[in-house]
Structure 1
């Protein structure tokens, strides 16, 4: 395997809603994710797609020869390991300039290195949301109960040298 490269840093889906933003959001259309194309979703619907797993905030390695993408346990310095949310979501680009903001316009270019369980990737690929997704269960904790979040097992990126990320490659929890 050739030396992996870090593809632009962690990806933060535009859908990392916090409780205050969700509470203030207008009502979502019923089961919108099944009928509304990503590009036609209202901002609140786009945000609501985020399941809160935190996997988009893991650093990834991409093999320059094969394009294969691997997740690592190494999390962005802004990830709150307990909540699986960005600690500074609104101002994250000030702290992490390489943070990629996921939009309907760039999902096609980014989807291949989003987590396999990511709602944005799944819908982009024409797949349904998993049964444990908070939009389906009505419970924001369902992602953690299903064991697909990063809660409690990440390593902050400031504790690992970038050339050692390869030692932290994991299988994605699905």
Structure 2
């Protein structure tokens, strides 16, 4: 990877390896989200995708995630601006907005577990969506985000 690539190149010019390395591993993009058709608001749940390993905050089948979970969100440099629900701490969002990476980011700290200790990841509060009936989803809403069109 190129040295400090996140500061030197726009997202669209990153290699696939650099794009993947930019992920801080917080797991927040793997939380279930539902958009209200009338208001446009996005409800974020504390339920994680069935493939998310909540301990490591990594996908347990990353290579096959789109086949196994058709609703899995494909984050790409071209689409990052569409995902206004990405947390303020997200490296993809930060770089897209021209901000610096957080000091705890693994590319800066060299520590892939630091974001867990800082409380940025979903570790410790998310639960797997596996086995949770849809009628119980409303009980798992942790945030409602207004989304402007």
TM-score range, shorter chain: 0.7 to 0.9
Hey, which bits of structure 1, 4+ residues long, moved more than 4 A? none
| Residue from 117, 130, 133 that aligns with 1:161 | 133
CA shift, 1:70, in A, is 3.4
CA shift, 1:171, in A, is 5.0
Deviations 1:37-72 (A, max 9, x none): 000011111110111111111001333344333321
1:19 counterpart residue number: none
Question: Please, which runs of 5 or more residues in structure 2 have no aligned partner?
Answer: 145-149
| Residue from 48, 53, 78 that aligns with 2:21 | 48
Matches within 5 A, 1:1-12: none
Give the Cα separation in 2 of the matches to 1:68 and 1:128: 28
Give the Cα separation in 2 of the matches to 1:100 and 1:73: 17
| 2:51 paired with 1:78 | yes
**Alpha carbons of 1:129 and 1:64: their partners in 2 closer, same or farther (altered >3 Å)?**
farther
Give the Cα separation in 2 of the matches to 1:116 and 1:166: 24
Q: Secondary structure at the match of 1:52?
A: coil
| Residue from 108, 111, 122 that aligns with 1:139 | 111
The answer on whether the counterparts of 1:49 and 1:135 sit within 8 Å (CA) in structure 2 is yes
Matches within 5 A, 1:51-130: 51-109=24-82, 111-130=83-102
What TM-score comes out, normalization by structure 2 length?
A: 0.86
Give the Cα separation in 2 of the matches to 1:171 and 1:32: 33
Deviations 1:76-132 (A, max 9, x none): 0001111110000001122101212111122222x2122332111221122221121
Question: Please, which runs of 5 or more residues in structure 1 have no aligned partner?
Answer: 1-27
Give the Cα separation in 2 of the matches to 1:126 and 1:94: 33
